[in-house]
Amino acid sequence: MLVLTRKVDECITIGDNIVVKVLGIESTQVKLGIDAPGRVRVLRQEVYEKIRDENIRSARRQAAAFVQAAGLFKTKEKIKGSEE
Amino acid sequence: MKLETRDFGQIDIDEDRVITMPAGMPGFPEAQHFIILDREETRPFLWYQCVDDPGLAFVIINPNLFQPDYSLDLGAILREMSWNGDREEDLAVYAIVNASEGIPEKITANLIGPLVINTRKKEAAQMVITGSPYSHKQPVFQPI
């Protein structure tokens, strides 16, 4: 891992069009400003990991559960329909 | 064109329905072409089958079927994606679903990482919604 030391208001650049700026430091927190093209995904790591993990779980083979779940939906619709 | 699918064997698909995801999806950056399969036996759950990799398929659902109030700022998404000239009506929103426990009642949908498809451009992206009141594991079936 590349390790750099920066002061407040100093930046690092990544490639040609990503700039990360240190906006402020307060006790154990660092506030960063990030300029990147719209198509570059910039996320807090824990959010990225949540989304990635849900994608991985969704990609598992699980057709049988969804056939049953589709049945639950239809039952729900019928109950709703009979209440009206 | 013929497509090999994970769950339904070889099927015939219309090439015009192939959706491109230039950025892939978190965890699957290489998977960039998908098609939606609507199978009667699992409806309203739909299959987001990868065209590049027959072994990869996700399950998706229209989130409004179980969260009627769920909505996204589609105008902001059009701007963020530089989908200039397209309208909010051109966007379709799906939630990625998982049944990792194999129990239908425990199926959850990821409402902070919706799949947004530009139906006109045939292009899609998985968005990340920050500050959402919803969860990445939103139950699809509310306990009765």
Interface ipTM above 0.95? no
A42 touches chain B (CB under 8 A): no
> CA of A7: how far to CAs of A21, A22, A30, A31, B84, in Å?
9, 7, 11, 12, 38
Compute the distance between CA of residue B25 and CA of residue B113 in angstroms, rounded to an integer.
Answer: 10
Compute the distance between CA of residue A4 and CA of residue A10 in angstroms, rounded to an integer.
Answer: 11
**Tokens linked to B139:** 């139950």
Q: Pick the residue of B5, B6, B45 with the most A CBs within 10 A to test the interface with A by mutation.
A: B45
A80 touches chain B (CB under 8 A): no
- Measured in whole angstroms, how far is the alpha carbon of residue A4 from the centre of its chain? 26
CB-nearest partner of A55 from B23, B58, B137: B58
Written as tens digits, the pLDDT of chain B (144 aa) is: 898 888 888 999 999 999 999 989 999 989 999 999 999 999 999 999 999 999 999 999 999 999 999 999 999 999 988 898 999 999 999 999 998 777 888 899 999 999 999 999 999 999 999 888 999 999 999 765
B104 contacts A52? CB cut-off 8 A? no
